Structure formats: structure tokens, C-alpha cells
Amino acid sequence: MFYLLAEMFEFEGIFNLFRYQTFRAGAAILTALFIGLLIGPRLISLLRVRQGKGQPIREDGPQTHLAKVGTPTMGGLMILIALVISLLLWMDLSSPFVWACLAVTIGFGAIGFMDDYDKVTKNSHKGVSGKVRLLMEFVVAGIAAYIIVSQINTWLYVPFVSNQAIPLGPFYYVFAAIVIVGAGNAVNLTDGLDGLAIMPVIIAAGTFALIAYLAGRADFSEYLGIPYVEGAGELAIFCACIMGAGLAFLWFNAPPANVFMGDTGSLALGGALGAIAVASHHEIVLAIVGGLFVFEALSVIIQVFWFKRTGKRIFRMAPVHHHFEQLGWSETKVVIRFWIIAIVLAIIGLSTLKLR
């Protein structure tokens, strides 16, 4: 909104700062952080009253998790409210990328909300049918993919190699939807311990804020040998909104958590990262930066596949963060070590910008 006002009335002096993406990104972080901290306590109290017993805890999970009984879920609502308000204030609302990524964020958040609501009302960890949920996710992702691809080409760019890309043609629409849905569910599977998912999301968002900004600059993209995507710089502000809202949520989600993110938040944030990666033409880099999410998702896929074939388990429990808990690691140790892994992966992902 502020950007459009600056352009419309040709602001000068200090108000000219509204035109700069870097300024608006910083302002977006602080705005989302402030809103999240402001509404957090009241929203958590409301969720606690409405939900009563809070998020259902799996009885077959680690026994230490039974102490979490009564903790409310759907904390992702706080993230979404802070993110959306900050986004509407600081982003260029004429950008199709903004609306495509926002559609994924709100759409996936709504799907996650339905799942969380089903779990809470039934007092069961089983929510909406997996097939139904996936169908809805692909519908939302398909619409967003169509909007995004209408602004970019259908090439898959390969990191670490300059000017190398794979032409996917019409299949790119399917590929883009798979990336978005895959990212959403990978973050969702990671969200199993206090603070585990949100900090890697913040780290990934910060990484993609830089990537999107550079991809949106013709001079920097040419120098680095990365694809130039006109208008992608605005996505740096979207990433900043995620960071600010995520930090506010972490304030309340730090162990022991006052509230859980729930599918409302994890699906929305993962889907947003997937959409941003597609729009900035760095889909493969997302798999590197978000390698922790990929590892968590693969641990579930491998566990289910192997158990169906042999009746045996590779991991003591999946997703893999529970495996380490079963090995005797404390929850805090698992979370902090996974954060370290996320930071290392982000550094590797950023190295793809120059190592070509």
C-alpha cells in the first residue's frame, strides 16, 4: 500500500524510502513482528478457551510429549494475521507474484485450519482425509502456478552451472504445483517439536529474501549468472513478512510452548516458500536450503515404504526428529541441532549464487 501511495503521489524526501525494496523489507519484518507480539497473548487465550483440551497428543509418540496435553493449536493464525497485514502495507500490490504467493499462503492456511479444527473437535490426531487434503492443495497450487508461470518462462534452472536450464514446456505447470505442495507438506511433517519448524522456516525465508532480491535485479543476476525474473524483488518483502511473523510466533512457541503452530501455520509457510522458489526460478535451491524439511519428509516416506514391504522399521519413529528423541536426545537438543543444520544448508544454498 505504501509503495503504491509513493508512486501515485510522487513522494519526495524521507517518504521516497517507500520506493526502495530494502527499506520496505526491513519495515515489513518489524511490522509483522510487532503485530504478532501484540495479538499473540489474546489469541492464545482465546484458543485455549475454545479448544479446551488443546491439540491431541499421540499416545504412541515419545512419552515426554504427554506433558504437552492442553496446549492449544492453530497458532498459525497469529502468523497469518501478522504476515498478511504487513504484506498489504509494504508490498507492491500490483505484482502478480504477490497475489499468487498470497493465494497459496491463505489457501494452504485454510486447508490446515480445517485439518486442525477436525482434530480438535474429534479429539483425535487424525484430521481431514489425506487424499482430500492433497486434492485441495493441488487445486490451490495449480492456480498459483498458472499465475506465476504466466510471468516467467518454463525452464528449470540448474544451480552450480551458469546458463544451464532444462526446458520443461507445459510440464512446468505440474512441476511448479508439485514443488509448492511438496514444500507445504515437508514443513508440516517437520512441525513436531517446540520451535523445530519455525526457525528453519525463518532461515529459509531470509535466504530466499536475498535470492529473490538478486534475481529481480538485472545487473546482479547477470553478474552472478542466475536467471533474471522481472518483479521477483518484491518477493524479498514477502520473505521479510514471513521472518517477522515467524519471530513473533517463536516468542510464544519457544520450549515449553504456549501454543502450537498446527497445520494452519506449517502448511501455509511451506507452501509460501515453495511458491517463492518457483517465482524466483530457484526450485532446486529450495531443496538445498530446505534440506531439513526434505529429510523429514523422506524419513516418513522411507519408513512407510519399508514397513509395508518388510514389516520392519528403519527409524525408531518417523518423522526423523522423533527417532533422535527415541535415541535419548532431549527435545531441546534435537531442536537446536536441527537449527544448526538448517543454517549450514542455507549457507550451502547461498553458495550456489556464485559457485558456477
> What tens digit of pLDDT does each residue of 106-132 get?
999 999 999 999 888 877 767 788 899
pLDDT score recorded for residue 56: 64
Residue 77 has pLDDT above 80, yes or no: yes
pLDDT score recorded for residue 86: 97
> What tens digit of pLDDT does each residue of 56-74 get?
666 656 656 655 677 898 9
What length is written for the chain?
A: 356
pLDDT score recorded for residue 214: 96
pLDDT score recorded for residue 44: 94
Return the closest-CA partner of residue 79 out of 227, 213, 271, 235.
Answer: 271
Residue 312 has pLDDT above 60, yes or no: yes
Cell readout for 304 is 512407510
Lowest mean pLDDT among 42-56, 264-278, 295-309: 42-56
The whole model's pTM is what?
0.93
- What's the number of CA atoms in the CB half-sphere (13 Å) around residue 248? 33
Of 3 and 137, the structure prediction assigns the larger pLDDT to: 137
- Mean pLDDT throughout 163-181? 93
pLDDT score recorded for residue 12: 59
Residue 197 has pLDDT above 60, yes or no: yes
Query: Would you tell me how many other CB atoms lie within 10 Å of the CB of residue 83?
Result: 34
Confidence of residue 10 (pLDDT cuts 50, 70, 90): low
Residue 167 has pLDDT above 90, yes or no: yes
pLDDT score recorded for residue 66: 56
pLDDT score recorded for residue 354: 79
Confidence of residue 27 (pLDDT cuts 50, 70, 90): very high
The mean of the pLDDT values for the chain is 90
Query: Would you tell me how many other CB atoms lie within 10 Å of the CB of residue 26?
Result: 16
51-58: list long-range contacts, CB under 8 Å, 24+ apart: 51/120, 53/120, 53/123, 54/120, 54/260, 55/116, 55/119, 55/120, 55/260, 55/262, 56/119, 56/120, 56/123, 56/124, 56/125, 57/125, 58/125
pLDDT score recorded for residue 296: 96
Rounded-to-10 torsion of CA 270, 272, 273, 274: 90
Residue 33 has pLDDT above 90, yes or no: yes
User: Per the omega criterion (within 30 degrees of 0), is the bond before 256 cis?
Assistant: yes
pLDDT score recorded for residue 57: 64
pLDDT score recorded for residue 343: 98
> What tens digit of pLDDT does each residue of 225-265 get?
899 999 999 999 999 999 999 999 999 999 888 999 999 99
- Mean pLDDT throughout 83-109? 95
Residue 200 has pLDDT above 80, yes or no: yes
pLDDT score recorded for residue 119: 86
Q: How far is 94 from 48, CA to CA, in rounded Å?
A: 38
pLDDT score recorded for residue 83: 97
